[in-house]
Each structure stands twice: as structure tokens, then as C-alpha cells.
Amino acid sequence: MNSNNYFKFINDSKLIISENSRDKLENTNCLSAIVESSLSQDEKERLKSLLSRSLENLDYNLTKFEKKYCSTGLKIYWAEDYKDIFKELRSLISFNKIKTAYYSSSYIYEEIGLADFLKKEKVKYTDNDAILQFVDVHKLISNTGNMLIMDKNYTKYKQVNSGKINIFIVGIEQIIESLSDADLYIKENVALSGKDYDSGFFYRPSRTGRDYLFIVDNGRTNLLSFEKQRLVLTCLHCGLCKKVCPVYELVGNKPFNNVFSGPIASVSLPFLENLKSYKHVSYACTLCGNCQKKCPIDIPIKDLILENRKYFRVTGNVDKSDNKRYSKYKNIVQSRDKMNKSRFFRKKRLKKFLSKSLRNSILLPKLEKKSFNVQYVKKRK
């Protein structure tokens, strides 16, 4: 795509671009857009619908992207998981005798364990003149074969055009259909990132042997097979849901033991990773709904957590001991006689209801001497 088309795109969209930026970009294949405001209700609805539409048409968009991207002789490295990426990177590192690499912080690098891999390969991190550089890709554009890269002060823009070896790693879900779809995405990302980004540009690699694009699955196909839960793949990774979650405020990342944490991970992790090790995170939620009220694209996180729990139950993925405990507890709370028993009895039952680990690690509530019912009846006499 030539620069005229890029500028036509800018004019057609609502992006704000300074004269200075325009001059700088006149003869390049990149576009930069300085965006200042966040979204109106109408724009938010548009962004939501374009993100879910992109997800619904994922197969089609990926195929179209591959066709465009590869039309200039470039290759896409499709990776089922981090092992496929590391296999290619290992041979690249050894072939080019690479000793230093640069990467910024990004959830995808943490997800695949990039820092540990480079350490193992004896490649040192440096932000000064590394031969190999990892560049974050925010979205792939299926119609044009471009990548959308979020930027600040043209840092990434200069980085990708510096002539070094560029590695791009992106999840299969990070794709949208057209350049004009990107304006709202850029605008919202700039607003949500605080001061991390002030612009976004489109990059289309053209150098075989210098630009490497990895598109990684890593459990996403499994998550996609769940009609409701797959909506979490439209997440912008803004982290707002974490900030308003009372459970996350108390427990932090620890119970998640993963790069993904917080309310959205309570939905996705059991399917991205595995049910056995991660289904507990869907229960670490009070269902207060703060997360879905705060989400800028209205992902119904609380409802999806409930959907997970329902799925675990109907597929028999619940602990038998939990089932037993809950049914005993139900018998007690439904029996007036038992609820009116002595404080000693009620405390004993409450302790029995809790699993062993919890019994010793949490403070039990102070129970009243007499139950509410006994107190109420006595007062009315």
C-alpha cells in the first residue's frame, strides 16, 4: 500500500495527525496518528462490534492476512505454542551468532517465557544497540497484511526501521479487518495506556531474513471453541477490571500463578491452560460485577465466570469432596433446628465446611451466642 492510501485513510478516519508527523511520513510505508480523546458511547459500541466481528471471522481474517503478507515473499511462522517459537529463534540466534537482544515488557513475552529462554541461550538483554529486537504488535490487519504497532515519540517506528533483525510475536486473536477499523482501537489504547502511547503506525515488513512474524495459538483455539467464553479474546489488556476487583486487591497474582491474572483470567485460564490446574480461579470471585461495569468494551466478565462454573458442573469437573461438603452445609442451613443449636455446634459445622487448608489459614467470623431466629423470637415475645 502506498503512502497516498495511508493518508486517505487518515483523512477518512477521525485520527488527528500533526503536520510535522505528516511531513516525516510522506515517503514511508508507515502511518502515525496522534490521538487525544477517548471514546464516545457510539464509538465504544462500534469498537465492541468490530472486535467481536473480527473474532467471529477469525479463520477468514487469518487466511486473508497470510495471503497479503506472504505476497512479497515473506513467511509467517505459525506456532502452536512457545516451543515452536523457541525452535526457530534458537536457529536464528546461532546462525547470526547473536549475543544481545532488546525487548520491552509485553504480556505475550511473559506468556511464552521469552526472558528465560534468552537467558538459557546466553543472549543478554540490552537497550543499547542490540542486533535482535522484539517489537510488540497490537493488531494484524487482514485486508492489507500490515501490523499495527502502538508507539510513543516514534520510538518503535525508528526501532523497526533501524535495519536490525525484527521479531514480531502476536496471538492469533489479535487481528482486525481493515485499516479504517484501527482508528478506534488506537484511540482507545492511547487513552487507556496513560502515558505509554501517543500514536500508532502500520508496518509492512519487506525484508526476508530480517523480519520474522510468529503467530501463536497457545491454547487460544481451545478457548475459541467456547461460544460465550471466547469473547474474552477481545480483551484490550487495559487492566481496569483488576483495579476494581476486591478479590484481586486482596490476593494479587499469586493464586493465578500465570502471566494472566485478575477477573479476565478467571474466565480464560481454565481453557487457555488446563481445567485441572486452573478451574479454581473461576471460584475466586464474589460476583460483585465491578469488573464488567468498568470494562471499556463491556465484556460480561461476571456472567462468564458463572458460565465457567456451570460448565464445570455439567461436565463433572467439580471435586467430589466439595460436592459432599456443600450438600452437608445445605442440610444444615435449611434446618431451623440445626441453625438454632449452640454457638459451639455452629462453629464446629462451619469449620467442617471449610477445606483443611482454609480452616487453618483464615479467621472465622465471630458467631453470636444465639442464632438470629432465637433472638428475634425472644424479642417479639
> Which residues sit at the interface with ligand SF4, rule CB under 6 A?
235-241, 264, 294-297, 299, 301
Bridge partners (DSSP) of residue 146 are 141
Q: Which is nearer to ligand SF4, 224 or 301 (CB)?
A: 301
Residue pair 143/204 in contact by the 8 Å Cβ criterion: no
Q: What angle do CA 10, 181, 220 make, to 5 degrees?
A: 140
CB of 47 to ligand SF4, least distance (A): 10
CB of 230 to ligand SF4, least distance (A): 13
Residue pair 150/30 in contact by the 8 Å Cβ criterion: no
Q: Which is nearer to ligand SF4, 142 or 261 (CB)?
A: 261
Q: Which is nearer to ligand SF4, 49 or 373 (CB)?
A: 49
CB of 284 to ligand SF4, least distance (A): 15
- Give the cell for residue 218: 497457545
Q: Which is nearer to ligand SF4, 113 or 296 (CB)?
A: 296
Indicate the residue type of 206: S
CB of 136 to ligand SF4, least distance (A): 16
Bridge partners (DSSP) of residue 315 are none
Q: Kindly provide the residue ranges of all beta strands, DSSP E only, lying in the chain, ordered along the sequence.
A: 33-34, 76-79, 100-103, 124-125, 132-136, 139-141, 146-151, 165-171, 175-176, 199-203, 211-216
- Cα–Cα distance between 355 and 352 in angstroms, integer? 7
Q: Which is nearer to ligand SF4, 160 or 238 (CB)?
A: 238
Neighbour count for residue 37 (Cβ, 10 Å): 12
The per-residue DSSP string of 327-362 comes to HHHHHHHT-HHHHTS-HHHHHHHHHHHS-HHHHHHS
CB of 238 to ligand SF4, least distance (A): 4
CB of 232 to ligand SF4, least distance (A): 7
CB of 51 to ligand SF4, least distance (A): 10
Q: Which is nearer to ligand SF4, 293 or 348 (CB)?
A: 293
Residue pair 200/32 in contact by the 8 Å Cβ criterion: yes
Q: Which is nearer to ligand SF4, 140 or 238 (CB)?
A: 238
The per-residue DSSP string of 245-300 comes to -HHHHHHTTGGG-SS--SHHHHHHHHHHS-HHHHGGGGGS-----HHHHH-TT---
CB of 254 to ligand SF4, least distance (A): 19
CA of 135: how far to CAs of 32, 167, 195, 283, 306, in Å?
16, 6, 19, 36, 37
